[in-house]
Amino acid sequence: MAEKISKSEQEWREKLTSEQFSVARQAGTEPAFSGAYWDCKEDGTYRCVCCGEALFDSTDKFDSGTGWPSFSRPLEDGRVEEHGDASHGMSRTEVRCSRCDAHLGHVFPDGPAPTGQRYCINSLSLDLERKPGG
């Protein structure tokens, strides 16, 4: 795994769009059905928009009907970190990039087999590296 990345708020603001900054650095959420990847069927690797860390593979992506990209698991163990989140009057599990601590979304225990997990991720937190010819 790559070395941890730490940047100042100003450095992140200079790298990201205002929408990406709001979601990835301030734990915001894009509106359902608005992101670039919620309905994307292209093959590739989904990377962290902040640091480029490979997080999810398109083979683990599924249509959850929620309006956000959903994955059954991360690309590899240790790529994402999970934290308790009691904001907005709910008890959820937040998902962050383990390399740069970017907010990605949340994970829920209502996904498909074999994991039973639904990693509900904001498109604004991701960049899709398309597979050649995909």
The residues annotated with a catalytic role in the active site are 120
Q: How far apart are CA 120 and CA 33, in angstroms?
A: 12
Rounded to 10 degrees, the C-alpha dihedral 15/72/1/20 comes to 10
Exposed / middle / buried, residue 66 (Cβ in 10 Å: 0-12, 13-18, 19+)? middle
- Alpha helices, DSSP H, located in the chain: 9-15, 18-24
